[in-house]
Amino acid sequence: MTTSAPSQHQPQKITYTSANVDLDAFHRAFDAALAEVRARMGQSHPLHVDGEPVRPDRPPIVDVSPIDTSVVLGTFAAAGPDEVDRAVRSAKTQQRRWAALPWRERVRILRRAAELIRERKFLLAAIMAIEVGKNRLEAMGDAEESADLVDYYCQQVEEHDGFVRDMARLTPIEHNVETLRPYGVFACIAPFNFPLALSTGMSSAALMTGNAVVYKPAEDAPWTGLALHDVYRDAGVPPGVFQYLSGRGREMGDALWHHPLIDGVVFTGSKDVGMRIFHGLSERWVKPCLLELGGKNAVIVTDSADLDAAAEGVMRSAFGLQNQKCSATSRVYVYGSVAASFAERLVERTRAIRMGDVTQRDVWFGPVINERAVKRWERAVEQGAREGRLLLGGERLRGGVFDRGHFVAPTIAELPLGSGLFEEELFAPFLSVGVVSGFDEALAEANKVEYGLTAGLFSGAREEVDRFFEEVEAGVCYVNKRSGATTGAWPGAQPFCGWKGSGASGKGGCGPWYVQQFVREQSRTVVGA
Ligand code: UN1
Residues 312 and 394 in one domain: yes
Q: How far apart are CA 429 and CA 417, in angstroms?
A: 19
Give the three-class secondary structure for 85.
Answer: helix
Residues 223 and 86 in one domain: yes
Among the listed residues 355, 29, 357, 73, the one whose alpha carbon sits nearest the alpha carbon of residue 195: 73
Partners of 408 in the β-ladder: 396
Q: Which atom of ligand 1 is nearest to 317's Cα? A: 11
Residues 266 and 335 in one domain: no
Catalytically active residues are: 292, 326
Residues 118 and 42 in one domain: yes
CA distances from 395 to 290, 350, 411 (A): 38, 14, 8
Q: Whose CA is nearest to atom 9 of ligand 1?
A: 327
Rounded to the nearest angstrom, the distance between the alpha carbon of 449 and the centre of ligand 1 is 19
Residues 391 and 418 in one domain: yes
Residues 266 and 229 in one domain: yes
Examine residue 206 and state whether it is found in any structural domain, yes or no.
Answer: yes
Protein residues with CB under 6 Å of any ligand 1 atom: 16, 145, 193-194, 325-327, 487-489, 496
Residues 6+ apart with CB under 8 A from 37: 123, 126, 127, 130
| Residue of 14, 327, 451 to mutate, ligand 1, most atoms within 8 A of C-beta | 327
For the chain, give me the number of helices (H) and strands (E)?
Answer: 14, 22
Angle formed at CA 93 by CA 236 and CA 243, multiple of 5 degrees: 50
Q: How far apart are CA 316 and CA 322, in angstroms?
A: 10
Q: How far apart are CA 58 and CA 78, in angstroms?
A: 6
CB atoms within 10 A of CB 525: 12
The answer to whether the beta carbons of residues 491 and 135 sit under 8 Å apart is no
Residues 273 and 412 in one domain: no
Q: How far apart are CA 79 and CA 188, in angstroms?
A: 15
| Residue of 14, 140, 194, 316 to mutate, ligand 1, most atoms within 8 A of C-beta | 194
Examine residue 3 and state whether it is found in any structural domain, yes or no.
Answer: no
Q: How far apart are CA 14 and CA 88, in angstroms?
A: 37
Examine residue 14 and state whether it is found in any structural domain, yes or no.
Answer: no
Among the listed residues 116, 103, 99, 252, the one whose alpha carbon sits nearest the alpha carbon of residue 187: 252
At residue 20, the pLDDT reads 65
- Which stretch of DSSP H or E encloses residue 226? helix 222-235
Q: How far apart are CA 84 and CA 105, in angstroms?
A: 28
Q: How far apart are CA 384 and CA 135, in angstroms?
A: 28
Q: Which atom of ligand 1 is nearest to 320's Cα? A: 11
CATH number of the domain within which 452 lies: 3.40.309.10
Rounded to the nearest angstrom, the distance between the alpha carbon of 85 and the centre of ligand 1 is 32
Q: Which atom of ligand 1 is nearest to 145's Cα? A: 10
Per-residue pLDDT tens over the stretch 394-444: 999 999 999 999 999 999 999 999 999 999 999 999 999 999 999 999 999
Residues 222 and 252 in one domain: yes
Q: How far apart are CA 433 and CA 412, in angstroms?
A: 7
The answer to whether the beta carbons of residues 450 and 473 sit under 8 Å apart is no
Q: Which atom of ligand 1 is nearest to 476's Cα? A: 4
Q: How far apart are CA 512 and CA 491, in angstroms?
A: 9
Q: Which atom of ligand 1 is nearest to 324's Cα? A: 3
Domain of residue 288 covers: 23-293+506-526
Examine residue 75 and state whether it is found in any structural domain, yes or no.
Answer: yes
In the 8-state DSSP scheme, what is residue 400?
G
Residues 201 and 79 in one domain: yes
Q: How far apart are CA 323 and CA 321, in angstroms?
A: 5
Examine residue 16 and state whether it is found in any structural domain, yes or no.
Answer: no
Rounded to the nearest angstrom, the distance between the alpha carbon of 132 and the centre of ligand 1 is 15
Q: Which atom of ligand 1 is nearest to 453's Cα? A: 2
At residue 4, the pLDDT reads 41
Residues 288 and 323 in one domain: no
Examine residue 522 and state whether it is found in any structural domain, yes or no.
Answer: yes
Rounded to the nearest angstrom, the distance between the alpha carbon of 371 and the centre of ligand 1 is 23
Q: Whose CA is nearest to atom 6 of ligand 1?
A: 488
Residues 242 and 381 in one domain: no
Examine residue 469 and state whether it is found in any structural domain, yes or no.
Answer: yes
DSSP-assigned states of every residue in 20-64: S--HHHHHHHHHHHHHHHHHTTTEEE-EEETTEEE--SSPPEEEE
CA distances from 140 to 10, 15, 152, 211, 223 (A): 14, 8, 18, 28, 16
CA distances from 357 to 128, 220, 374 (A): 13, 18, 17
Angle formed at CA 518 by CA 170 and CA 263, multiple of 5 degrees: 105
CATH number of the domain within which 221 lies: 3.40.605.10
Q: Whose CA is nearest to atom 10 of ligand 1?
A: 489
Rounded to the nearest angstrom, the distance between the alpha carbon of 97 and the centre of ligand 1 is 34
Rounded to the nearest angstrom, the distance between the alpha carbon of 165 and the centre of ligand 1 is 34
Q: How far apart are CA 250 and CA 270, in angstroms?
A: 13
The answer to whether the beta carbons of residues 199 and 144 sit under 8 Å apart is no
| Residue of 196, 487, 494, 502 to mutate, ligand 1, most atoms within 8 A of C-beta | 487
Q: How far apart are CA 161 and CA 45, in angstroms?
A: 39
At residue 427, the pLDDT reads 97
Rounded to the nearest angstrom, the distance between the alpha carbon of 475 and the centre of ligand 1 is 13
Residues 257 and 322 in one domain: no
Chain centroid, CA 166 distance in Å: 36
Rounded to the nearest angstrom, the distance between the alpha carbon of 486 and the centre of ligand 1 is 9
Per-residue pLDDT tens over the stretch 83-125: 999 999 999 999 999 999 999 999 999 999 999 999 999 999 9
Residues 6+ apart with CB under 8 A from 302: 335, 338, 439, 442, 457, 458, 459, 460, 461, 464
| Residue of 14, 325, 453 to mutate, ligand 1, most atoms within 8 A of C-beta | 325
* Number of independent structural domains in the chain: 2
Examine residue 11 and state whether it is found in any structural domain, yes or no.
Answer: no
- Which stretch of DSSP H or E encloses residue 97? helix 81-100
The answer to whether the beta carbons of residues 393 and 368 sit under 8 Å apart is no
Ranges of residues in the chain with a pLDDT under 70 are 1-12, 19-20, 529
Q: How far apart are CA 83 and CA 436, in angstroms?
A: 54
At residue 7, the pLDDT reads 44
